[in-house]
Amino acid sequence: MKHNRLHKVVPYVLVGPPLVMIAIFLFYPMLRNIILSFFNYNLSEIDRPFVGLQNYFAMLHDRRLWNALGRTGIWTAVNLLFAVFIGVGSAFLMFSGFKGSGALKSFILIPWILPSVVTGYIFSLMLNEDAGIITWILKATGVVGQHFSFFSSGPLSMTAAVTANIWRAFPFFTLMIYAKLCTVPNDQLDAAQLEGVQGIKLFRYVLLPFVRNILMSCIFLCFIWTFNAYDIMKVMTNGGPAEMTTTMSLLIQREAFTYFSLSNAATMSVYMFCVMLIVVGIGAFLRLLTGGKNYD
């Protein structure tokens, strides 16, 4: 009898502490953030009146929000496109066993294990106008002028930050896809070889369908991480020049800690969360509609 009771209690004891931690460090801050968005809460003012939905209506007419949201969308889309392409491509190269795949497996983790702040500083130094090795090579070969700078214009600054983030993100896709490819049944590969399916056809009709589910999961995760990305953009551009690389995360941080308007920052973050929720929801719905065989 006691054993049965203990058996029933153990799962709750094991699950309880993580749930408490999640409630404290995730759900409470989210709830507090939503509550702040209904007040006119500025750290430089004493009065903090309740304003209801006024902040939400005001933000709808704030061009900064829409500009930052557009830049965040471009940033996320470009990062995802190239990270998926490079990550999946390198995973299939490793799986094919080409010469150098062993070295690739050894070094592929380096970008992923580096903190994003470190990645941002590394690329900032390499692209520095005066001492950057990449800038020096481009100037020495005459590709760019002597006064060229990667951080002198919005498009160039965005390109530099995107490149740094792609370099850090693609190993995640590589490792996840490669791990899944290693579980492909040998009989499927043998059958494909007997049918003369090789190269692109093998990739399209055998391997890609096999990794589709894990690929979609990786895309969802990478979308959330990239859409929320703050460190690399903060270190490399800080939103400049002229706020041309200010993403949602930077705008929220600036609104809260430069202008001390916690209510505006909270409102922006709620909008940001809603956009992510909508995109992920649409993606999940489309995945359900397409259906297909589950290879997991």
- 75 three-state secondary structure: helix
Question: Closest by alpha carbon to 221, among 72, 116, 119, 80?
Answer: 80
- 191 three-state secondary structure: helix
pLDDT at 10 over 80: no
pLDDT at 6 over 70: no
**pLDDT at res. 291:** 63
Q: Determine contact, residues 173/222, Cβ cutoff 8 Å.
A: yes
CB under 8 Å, gap of 24 or more: what pairs does 220-225 form? 220/280, 220/283, 220/284, 221/172, 222/79, 222/80, 222/83, 222/84, 222/169, 222/172, 222/173, 223/76, 223/80, 223/276, 223/279, 223/280, 223/283, 224/276, 224/280, 225/169
Residue 26 confidence class, pLDDT cut points 50, 70, 90: confident
Average pLDDT over residues 195-202: 77
Superfamily of domain 37-290: MetI-like (1.10.3720.10)
**pLDDT at res. 86:** 95
Q: What is the mean pLDDT of the chain?
A: 89
* Percent of the chain residues past pLDDT 90, beyond the cut: 59
* Residue with the larger pLDDT of the pair 40 and 287: 40
- Each residue of 249-267: pLDDT tens digit? 999 999 999 999 999 999 9
Comparing 78-92, 135-149, 182-196, 232-246, the range with the smallest average pLDDT is 182-196
Q: Convert 110-176 into a string of H (helix), E (strand) and C (coil).
A: HHHHCCHHHHHHHHHHHCCCCCCHHHHHHHHCCCCCCCCCCCCCHHHHHHHHHHHHHHHHHHHHHHH
* Residue with the larger pLDDT of the pair 263 and 285: 263
Q: What are the extents of the domains in the chain?
A: 37-290
- 39 three-state secondary structure: strand
